[in-house]
Amino acid sequence: SQTIHQWPATLVQPVGSPLSLECTVEGTSNPNLYWYRQAAGRGLQLLFYSVGIGQISSEVPQNLSASRPQDRQFILSSKKLLLSDSGFYLCAWSVSGRLGNQPQHFGDGTRLSIL
């Protein structure tokens, strides 16, 4: 069966520090991968998605970036964090393909607090 792992679970960082959040998927090949941010425990904002190694699409301009160095690894980064970057970050995967009728499956998230 497929599993998705995110780490760390919680992170407290000072303003201006760098960020690296990691997400890995097991049990499937060539998944679509997604990074979301959830603010105040409510709506989800899609940040990045990837349909393959090295292929990243950005949905919202900001000081965050994403990379996919391996098929099942998705990394969210920042060179200098802002207070507004605080939130709950969720990684998700779905079966690849253009049909779009497959659900996304989410990791347990990283709670990021910026001080």
Partner 1 sequence: AQSVAQPEDQVNVAEGNPLTVKCTYSVSGNPYLFWYVQYPNRGLQFLLKYITGDNLVKGSYGFEAEFNKSQTSFHLKKPSALVSDSALYFCAVRDANYGGSQGNLIFGKGTKLSVKP
Choose, by CB under 8 A, the member of 1, 29, 41, 83 that binds partner 1.
41
35 part of the interface to partner 1, by CB under 8 A: no
Q: Does 25 bind partner 1 (CB under 8 A)?
A: no
- Per CB under 8 A, does 106 bind partner 1? yes
Tokens, residue 108: 């347990």
Record the tokens describing residue 59, joined without a space.
């949905």
- Regarding 1 and contact with partner 1 (CB under 8 A), the answer is no
Query: CA–CA separation, 87 vs 112, rounded Å?
Result: 5
Nearer to partner 1, 7 or 16 (CB): 7
Tell me which residue has tokens 């969720």: 90
Q: Report cis status (omega within 30 of 0) of the bond before 103.
A: no
Q: What is the DSSP letter of 105?
A: E
Chain residues in the site for partner 1 (CB under 8 A): 6, 34, 41-44, 46, 49, 57, 59, 90, 92, 98, 100-101, 103-109, 111
